[in-house]
Homo-oligomer: A and B are copies of this chain.
Amino acid sequence: MATSPDPFNSRSSRKVPLNKDAVLSTALEIVDAEGLDGLTMRRLGQELRRDPMSLYRYAANRAALLDGVTEVVLDELTMFAEEPDWQAQLRGMAHDLRLLALRHPNVVALLVTRPLSTPLGLRPLGTLRPLEQILGLLIGAGFSPTEALHAYRAYYGFLYGHILNELRECIVDPEENEALLRLGLHRLPAKDFPHLRALGPVLANYEGDVELDQGLTILLSGLAAQLQRKDR
């Protein structure tokens, strides 16, 4: 599961050679296991068997640490699946990002909110690389730079929205799944939430990949139509 070779096996191993990558991947493991709040300087120091203060050599502060974690996660994206056309490429990349999000659900909040109100050029480069990449793809496909930017926004907006939606509705414990769901729905005032309550069984099995694909079909055909209108 860990990408780097076994940075710590619980509390058995001794001193780990410290570098930025080791710090960040350990930080990611903590976030994956215990959520964003679980990642504190002190906790991370303990995991690495170092004085928490020594971490400030690798990250200026906790915010920078979190930025580093998002970069590590985004680096997991296999950059270019070789697909025939731009639509297939966008589709493939969307599914890749979705799987990435499912692998690191606790990081998604970071992906989505961390760069908020950080000037574009000052963001972690990992955040910007997908943007640049997709711009190139779309411009290569015949969109003008401005159109490519708009198309990117529509695509990424939908994609992130879908991921958030899916994570929101995903219940971790598959056993309690239906029970919890029903329990929750039952709590809703029947008069105010008739449709929602009626959807109980349907809500229970969310096939994220299928719905993502359906949404993409709508979006991509819309973008393709725009492109055709131009070429004609």
Residues of A within 8 A of B (CB): 105, 108-109, 112-113, 115-117, 119-122, 125, 128-129, 131-132, 135-136, 139, 145-146, 148-150, 153-154, 156-162, 164-165, 167-172, 180-188, 192-196, 198-199, 202-203, 211, 214-215, 217-219, 221-223
Task: Answer whether A165 and B157 are a contact pair too, CB < 8 Å, given A121-B185, A202-B149.
Answer: yes
Given contacts A153-B165, A165-B153, contact A180 B136 (CB under 8 A): no
Known: A115-B168, A121-B183. 12 other contacts (CB 8 A): A108-B116, A117-B167, A119-B171, A122-B184, A135-B196, A145-B195, A153-B165, A154-B162, A154-B215, A160-B165, A161-B161, A219-B219
Assess the A116–B199 pair: CB atoms within 8 A: no
Complex alpha-carbon distance, A150 and B154, angstroms:
18
Complex copy number for this chain: 2
A193→B160 CA distance, assembly (Å)? 22
A109-B154 Cα distance, complex, nearest whole Å: 20
Pick the contact of A156 from B117, B129, B153, B165 — CB < 8 Å?
A: B165
Complex contact B157–A161 (CB within 8 A): yes
In the complex, A191→B149 CA distance in Å? 19
B residues within 8 A CB of A214? 150, 154
User: Could you tell me the distance in whole angstroms from the C-beta of A93 to the nearest C-beta in chain B?
Assistant: 15
Residue contact A135 to B180, C-beta cutoff 8 Å: no
With contacts A193-B132, A196-B131 known, is A122 near B156, CB below 8 A?
no
| Closest chain B residue, CB of each to CB of A198 | B145
Q: List chain B residues, Cβ under 8 A from A187.
A: 121-122
Q: Given the complex, which residues of B lie within 8 Å of A121, measured CB to CB?
A: 180-188
Cα(A161)–Cα(B203), bound, Å: 21
Q: A154 to chain B: closest CB distance in Å?
A: 5
What residues on B are CB-neighbors of A186 within 8 Å?
A: 121
Measured in the bound complex, the distance between the Cα atoms of B214 and A5 in whole Å is 47
Provide the bound-state CA to CA distance between A121 and B196, in Å: 10
Q: Given the complex, which residues of B lie within 8 Å of A170, measured CB to CB?
A: 117
Q: Is the Cβ of A195 less than 8 Å from the Cβ of B132? A: yes
